[in-house]
Structure 1
């Protein structure tokens, strides 16, 4: 038993050692790749090759994502989508490879997705996905229910007119056999049945065309809105990243509230670590994972509207499922309506008697002489749905689109909590690309902390001197001097 435990312990330690070594090597490789990517001018051929490889990989990935986005989300044709994606890939490769600020701008756009601008982009994608897939599906199911109404109305009218026609035929079959001047069976329909039938068909067809027009208009409006809003938000994402980079390079006070390792090292060299003994409330530790109470309260307040949006999405998806169930029930009910066969048998026998009172006097039945005997049979069917009216199938609710919309909205909710870390990451990325500017910003922050410390010390010094003089028993006039 001990041997088994020792073997298991040895295997666990070996596996942990290999995992730790592999993780350290992977982190070192990623760090070296990031250093090469953030260098304005590569220091050697290895960094140049790494930089070109990273720029090419990002360009290919961006072109593939752009092509997939244009085809699947914005419904552009394959040819123009491939051309636009290829041109975008080439422009991205040239921009990343030749312009270092473009690499910084591209890197800054990733954490910018975790800010308010990225949250708007995610919410627009989510809303557009629901508008393009779920809303037309609801309208299609309502159209299927309307088609059931049309078919039932048309079939009932046809059956009613057919029954009227058969009864009229039966009445006419009896009329010619009647003698002249006698009263026969007549059946007459008030009004024109064909005109009434055409009017009802026209009304139901107009209802279906209205549903189809609303569905097409909703699809076109949602698609156009998605294209415009997505383009504007992507442009806003790049503009936000460019604005941050501009302010970082031109304003030393902009987003300069982080206690970085470079600041701690500079304070140690200047023997001024006491400046961080009681740091101000606005100073944040760049590597500190905890959020302040103000940041948590702000996150909770911003989660309220997103929660309402999630509830609205759930209601929309539930409406889609309810519309599908109703349409499916209506179609199944219409398909199961039975065909009722009807058989009308008309038997007409006429006879006459001559001197019928004579047999009656002898208590005998009168002798009947047959005059006319007619036997007719009429058959038809009652159909509650018209054979010429096809039933539309109920459209099943899509599963991928609501899940994608929900995931996008959950990501938007997570950006509320990750916005602080995204801002810190933006500062770290900008500092990696522009080390000289970061050194000036650290020096400015050092001077700001020193001024705060000196001001706080001057405010405490008179209080300390007054208390010391009172302790020695000096008069107030001497204290004021």
Structure 2
């Protein structure tokens, strides 16, 4: 017990040490690394090396993610994926190391994933996952069901042909024994029917296989094209935001930044210092207004349609698996029917039967020939030459991945506002001089707005007083 108490005390002390010393140090280290990364020109060789090291780490991580994305999601070959990942990492390293706005653009792209373009990218990735793995699995189960029908039809016709051959053999043997021309007639050509059945079932199976390959190829090609389109749109939206931030002082300029706080402290005589206007948003604020919550719920309602489509695809996969498994189990449990045909032929004749009839004497019967034989065969409802395909289980992994992507897409509805605020903070940290200009412009704009409201209130008071003095 004492040892357990000592161990618990040591764990508590270690936890406190990590919380009070480890986390602040890690936070300070991250802030220092971010300050070096966001600088347009390093101040020393050490900062230059740190900046290049950070660019190399980011490029390597991006190359690894690109390789995994190309091989797993877009199903490219290993050689193509390695080439694309290496090219992506090398070009990204050059862009990050040489171009300061490129570093800002990449940093803004991360919070942009929480906006509308990121939501579209996540939804398209979810549908691509379903189209690449679940839809072909549905068609494979449909093919397994059609294979059951093919095997049952082929086995039934083979049993019919076998029965016909057995009856023909019995007829020939009886004909030879009796010495009479016995024939067995069938109303149709069983061999031709058997060949037609084989051709028809093989054609259906080939059509289903071709449809499965076509759907798989279309889904893969569509996912590749959509992935490229949404990546370009993601970069274009980040570029649009950075361009608006650098060229337009009014663009997304409603944030309570450090520069604005400094201006308010420098202008203590301004009425804005006492009560900042409500139009200014706090960059780090987590509270959403009613209008923002209403817009989030409104956008969330539109996600019901893709959710329903995903649910239908997943349910169809499960239903197709159940039907295929039931069909395969039913075909495997079909019994064989044994058939036993016994033929007994006994021919007798009498000599001068009319004489015996006249004298009322029994006629003497003599046996001319006797034939007896038996034939045994089995009726099989499945063909031994037709192999049944096992049912493919539902793609739970793909469904889980699509559901996770949908949850992330739903979360971006509420994170979009915070993503905008974070994007502003990222741009402000990279371009501090521009942020000071924007803060001065916002301060002047708010000051003019406050003066205008004061003038309007004075005019309203004067007009009310004049109306009260009129008899």
Deviation of 1:341 (Å): 2.4
Partner of 1:434: 431
- Does 2:440 correspond to 1:448? no
Residue 380 (str. 1) matches residue 412 (str. 2): no
3-state SS of 2:216 partner: helix
CA distance in 2, matches of 1:201, 1:289: 68
In structure 2, relative to structure 1, the CA distance for the partners of 1:339 and 1:452 (3 Å cut) is same
Among 301, 323, 326, the alignment partner of 1:326 is 323
Deviation at 1:289, TM superposition (A): 0.5
- Cα distance in 2 between the residues matched to 1:307 and 1:367: 96
1:421 shift after superposition: 0.3
Are positions 1:32 and 2:32 aligned together?
yes
2:384 & 2:301 partners in 1: Cα distance? 54
Work out the CA distance in 2 between the residues paired with 1:273 and 1:353.
Answer: 143
* 1:74 to partner: Cα distance: 1.4
Please give the residue correspondences for 1:138-217 in structure 2 after superposition, counting only pairs within 5 Å.
138-179=138-179, 185-217=182-214
Report the Cα distance in structure 2 between the residues aligned to 1:461 and 1:337, rounded to whole angstroms. 97
Question: How far did 1:14 drift?
Answer: 6.4
Residue 16 of structure 1 aligns with which residue? Answer: 16
Per the alignment, in what secondary structure is the counterpart of residue 316 of structure 1?
helix
1:286, 1:276 → 2: CA distance?
18
Contact 2:267 2:273 in 1 (8 A): no
Q: Counterparts of 2:10 and 2:315 in 1: how far apart (Å)?
A: 54
Report the equivalent of 1:406. Answer: 403
Is 2:97 the counterpart of 1:59? no
Shift of 1:443: 0.2
User: In the aligned structure 2, how far is the partner of 1:260 from the partner of 1:365?
Assistant: 133
Q: Which moved more, 1:15-24 or 1:384-393?
A: 15-24
Aligned to 1:46: 46
Deviation at 1:272, TM superposition (A): 5.2
CA–CA separation in structure 2 for the residues paired with 1:273 and 1:82: 61
Shift of 1:404: 1.1
Residue 297 (structure 2) aligns with: 300
Post-superposition CA distance 1:107-154 (Å, at most 9, x none): 011001111111111111111111111000000100010011011001
Kept in 2, the 8 Å contact 1:168–1:188? The answer is no
TM-score, normalisation: structure 2: 0.93
- C-alpha contact 1:154 1:385 (8 A) present in aligned 2: yes
1:14-48 Cα offsets, whole Å, 9 max, x none, are 63343122111111111111101101111223322
Map of 1:348 onto structure 2: 345
Gaps of 5+ in 2: none
Aligned-partner Cα distance in 2 for 1:34–1:124:
32
Change (3 A) 1:10 1:224: closer
In the TM superposition, what is the alpha-carbon distance from 1:339 to its structure 2 partner? 2.3
Using structure 1 for the length normalisation, give the TM-score: 0.91
Alignment of 1:277-292 (within 5 A): 280=277, 282-292=279-289
Contact 2:344 2:372 in 1 (8 A): yes
Alignment-derived partner of residue 249 in structure 2:
252
1:103 aligns to what?
Answer: 103
Q: Gapped runs of 5+ residues in structure 1?
A: none
TM superposition shift of 1:73: 1.5
Aligned twin of 1:90: 90
Secondary structure of 1:374's partner? strand
Q: For residue 417 of structure 1, report the CA deviation from its aligned partner.
A: 0.3
Report if aligned partners of 1:324, 1:394 keep a CA contact under 8 Å in 2: yes
2:368 equivalent to 1:371: yes
- The equivalent of 1:268 in structure 2 is 265
1:270 Cα deviation from its structure 2 partner? 0.8
User: In structure 2, what is the equivalent of residue 136 of structure 1?
Assistant: 136
How many residue pairs were aligned? Answer: 469
Distance in 1 between residues matched to 2:303 and 2:137, nearest whole Å: 25
**Cα pair 2:178 2:369 within 8 Å, conserved:** no
What SS does the corresponding residue of 2:268 show, helix, strand or coil?
coil
